[in-house]
Structure 1
Amino acid sequence: MPRHTLTALALKARLAEAAKAAAETKKPQRIGDGDGLMLVVQPNGHASWVLRYSNLGKRTDHTVGRWPTVTLALARDKAEEARRSLAAGQDPAAKRVEERQARVSAASTDTLRAMFDEWMAKTKSEASEVYRGNIEAALKKDVFPKLGAKAPHTITRADIVEILRDVEERGAYEMVRRIRMWLRELFEFGIDDEKRPQLLASPIPMGTLRSFKTRKTRSFPAITEAAQVKDLMMALRSSQSWTVRAALLFSAYVWQRPTEIREAPWSEFDLDAARWVIPPERMKNREEHWVPLAPQVVALLRQHQGVVGSEGWVFPGRKYGKPISEGTLTGRLITAGYDKKHTPHGFRAMARTVLDEKLKVDTRFIEKQLSHEVDARLRGAYNRAEYWDDRVLMMQTWADWLDAQK
């Protein structure tokens, strides 16, 4: 059995002394634990556990782990494992070199696409199918054709900037930032993976991308006069396309963002509980959002299921596997005479204004339903104050008012 000389308390005291001595002398300091195991403290303050042994007359220092990740107890276990390997005729230091070379060899045949597949499987498995599909579609379109076959460690910042500039060139300013975000997560995953020792740094530009264009803030045309809502609702109900009609009526009832509505899968809805739960990855503020569904909305969705089914997209588009497009919804409003007067996004402003000015609903409930950001200092308290019962009542009041506009 190894003869240990350290205790946890003694190690703490000696470590402080060794760190001070190493910094002053600019030389490593060793704290022995017996039978060749020692903690080597470097002048920069870093410390690693080292097992010193002799094999065939040659003295070898074998690193078993870095302190404090590898504790005293764990270092002793690793040292004992190395001793057993040595007794079995296998040099632990040589074995480590072979394993490192194998990892480097594997990394040399690695590709960005392979790393992406691994990243998705290990970190995005809990995300919704819609969100995972959005990530893969974006990278398949803009990144993989140029970089998919390259080894991650060979990709440069210039390569990434060129990709982002191409996306910017076609006016997809928001997509520039989404792709940058996903690639940054992807490379951070690769750096943490021991199978990729050559990937030491991320090539993804940091900061706010000030040299890239941003989408200009604009207000969306919206009907906000209560007296004008009647004609709008009559126009929505007269739509000849069932799915377009259902999507526009649903938008009027729940007034979430068009993308959140268009890309909603049936899996997010609990019609028995009259609740729609939008996951964080589909929300602008990256926070899960609960939407109460009034009885009229539940009835609309159940009837809609009888037409389109209860799997996949709630509002499927004409192209197989794709949701309905915002252009389709906008086109119906234009046909109904609302060009530059009302848009799919305008239902948010319509509800916000009428609920506040005519129906006199507390604006706290309205803002929560809109999932608007608040002062960061109040964010924690705001997130806990769901106002769920109040919002259920508000959405019932709103649905009843809309139904009265005939």
Structure 2
Amino acid sequence: MLTEKQIRAFKPREKDYVVSDGRSARGEGVLILKVRPNGTKEFYFQRHVDGKKKLAKVGVWPSMSLVEARDSRREQHGKVAAGGTFQNLMDAYVNKLDGESAASVDDVRWSLKHYVSEAFPYLVARPASSIGPGDIRDIIARMIEAGITTYCNRVRSQLHAAFQMGLEQEFNPRSYHQDDVKFGLQSNPVASVPVQDDWERPGERALTVEELATLWQLLPEKLSLTTAVLLQFLIASGGQRPEQLLAVERQQYYKDHLLIRNKKGKDGEKSAHAVPYNKLMRQCLQTMAEISANSAYPFEGKVVGQSLHANSLSRAVTKLYGRHAEKFEGPFTLRDIRRTCKTLMGVVGLSKELRDRIQGHAFSDVSSKHYDRYDYFKEKQRGLARWSTWLEKNAIKSPWTQL
């Protein structure tokens, strides 16, 4: 192997000549030093592609030291050997989540496709190792320019996790040789892009009774039928999580209840959450059945066989407020509707424990986790019936709102 002393001692000749830094593993390429007739000494990364010798200039000695040239050669080799694109990296991350039955997989798949792949097709075709903090910044900046606030942090988090997965693959000696696609990552480019902390404050917004009545009466005329009925169903069901509800296939809607599979359990364990029907929920389901009684999902989106996406629902709520801001006391989002239901069910007289059970919250005390196997179905059924009666009186037949 070369030394700094040897490089200093090399004298120019009439023609260029090269000296190798030593042999490397087959296929990895090698660092060479080229000495020019004028005395210039240049480092090159030499490799063979399809039987032909390829040279890539690394730097000039002594402004680049031998150690720096070797480091650069390793980086160059990583970029050559690792053909995995940015798109390959995101696909691998989604596949990982899918294999783990992660609750977030559908949301991650949709957001990476919508905000990254479709918005930056030229970027996702590049090697993942060439993506830098500036590229990630541009992705998030475009979302912010489009008026997206909190969710831009979600996408940043997803991208950070994807690159972190690629890094772990790169440096885990047990799994490195098991993966066909290599990414050659040296660092996580997302780490340098800051989280927008001011958009991560805990939510406090809950609609008043009058605002909820206004919202309910706006829905049928101001949104598509499926979106409007879905929002009514979410409210009537006590504020279920939209992502979980929309993942429930029609076959999980039984005679007197629907069954939500919560994938947030430890190690992918799925817990079942039964939601009894009340009068308003049945009316919503009947409306959707009249549109299509055979679709895979009761609330089908534009794509046949696929459920409406929670992000589409969220945007619809935000736009609805924007068009009718004068009718409300302030901005609200889809997440605020779940909080509104939780708050107003308390006004109806439902205990906090029952409201938690209706919304599918996990109970972490020892008794609930290990000993209590009672399903509280009857209690939830009575509670949702009271909620439905209250909604009919205060939201559907509201004395406050005349549109």
TM class, shorter-chain normalised? 0.5 to 0.7
Pair 382,310 (structure 1): closer, same or farther in 2 beyond 3 Å: farther
* Separation (CA, whole Å) in 1 of partners of 2:336 and 2:84: 47
Specify the SS of the correspondent of 1:194: helix
State the aligned residue count: 290
Per-residue deviation, 1:247: 2.0
* Counterpart for residue 349 of structure 1: 339
* Counterpart for residue 78 of structure 1: none
Contact 2:245-2:260 within 8 A present in 1 as well: no
* Counterpart for residue 30 of structure 2: none
* Separation (CA, whole Å) in 1 of partners of 2:111 and 2:214: 40
Pair 189,291 (structure 1): closer, same or farther in 2 beyond 3 Å: farther
Q: 2:134 aligns with which of 162, 166, 188?
A: 162
Contact 2:223-2:316 within 8 A present in 1 as well: no
Per-residue deviation, 1:291: 5.1
Contact 2:288-2:299 within 8 A present in 1 as well: no
Per-residue deviation, 1:304: 0.5
Per-residue deviation, 1:180: 1.3
Deviations 1:349-397 (A, max 9, x none): 33222322331x22123234445688xxx46765566864233432233
Asked if 1:339 is matched to 2:301, the reply is: no
Q: 2:255 aligns with which of 250, 269, 272?
A: 272
Per-residue deviation, 1:134: 1.9
Q: Write the letter of the residue equivalent to 2:342.
A: R
Asked if 1:358 is matched to 2:348, the reply is: yes
Per-residue deviation, 1:277: 1.3
* Counterpart for residue 225 of structure 2: 242
Unpaired segments of 5 or more residues in structure 1? 1-103
* Separation (CA, whole Å) in 2 of partners of 1:273 and 1:142: 43
Q: 2:106 aligns with which of 130, 145, 159?
A: 130
* Counterpart for residue 236 of structure 2: 253
Q: Write the letter of the residue equivalent to 1:217.
A: R
Pair 269,256 (structure 1): closer, same or farther in 2 beyond 3 Å: farther
* Separation (CA, whole Å) in 1 of partners of 2:263 and 2:169: 20
* Counterpart for residue 391 of structure 1: 380
Q: 1:203 aligns with which of 176, 187, 195?
A: 187
Pair 161,286 (structure 1): closer, same or farther in 2 beyond 3 Å: farther
Contact 1:265-1:311 within 8 A present in 2 as well: no
Pair 205,168 (structure 1): closer, same or farther in 2 beyond 3 Å: same
* Separation (CA, whole Å) in 2 of partners of 1:222 and 1:143: 37
* Counterpart for residue 184 of structure 1: 164
Pair 166,381 (structure 1): closer, same or farther in 2 beyond 3 Å: farther
Q: 2:288 aligns with which of 295, 301, 304?
A: 304
Which runs of structure 2 are paired with 1:57-76 in the superposition (5 Å)?
Answer: none
* Separation (CA, whole Å) in 2 of partners of 1:356 and 1:175: 34
Contact 1:116-1:186 within 8 A present in 2 as well: no
Pair 343,372 (structure 1): closer, same or farther in 2 beyond 3 Å: same
* Separation (CA, whole Å) in 2 of partners of 1:388 and 1:174: 34
Pair 120,332 (structure 1): closer, same or farther in 2 beyond 3 Å: closer
Specify the SS of the correspondent of 1:124: helix
Q: Write the letter of the residue equivalent to 1:251.
A: L
Per-residue deviation, 1:301: 1.7
TM-score, with length taken from structure 1: 0.54
Contact 2:136-2:190 within 8 A present in 1 as well: no
Contact 1:276-1:292 within 8 A present in 2 as well: yes
* Counterpart for residue 314 of structure 2: 326
Specify the SS of the correspondent of 1:275: strand
Specify the SS of the correspondent of 2:177: coil
Pair 127,404 (structure 1): closer, same or farther in 2 beyond 3 Å: same
Per-residue deviation, 1:272: 3.4
Asked if 1:146 is matched to 2:151, the reply is: no
* Counterpart for residue 217 of structure 1: 201
* Counterpart for residue 72 of structure 2: none
Specify the SS of the correspondent of 1:311: coil
Q: 1:293 aligns with which of 258, 264, 276?
A: 276
Pair 175,120 (structure 1): closer, same or farther in 2 beyond 3 Å: closer
* Separation (CA, whole Å) in 1 of partners of 2:301 and 2:225: 12
Deviations 1:225-270 (A, max 9, x none): 4x77556545546668422431221121124467527854635842
* Counterpart for residue 55 of structure 2: none
* Separation (CA, whole Å) in 1 of partners of 2:95 and 2:340: 41
* CA RMSD, 1 decimal: 4.7
Q: Write the letter of the residue equivalent to 1:347.
A: I
Deviations 1:307-347 (A, max 9, x none): 14543664455688764443333444654963345654443
* Separation (CA, whole Å) in 2 of partners of 1:354 and 1:310: 34
Pair 119,318 (structure 1): closer, same or farther in 2 beyond 3 Å: closer
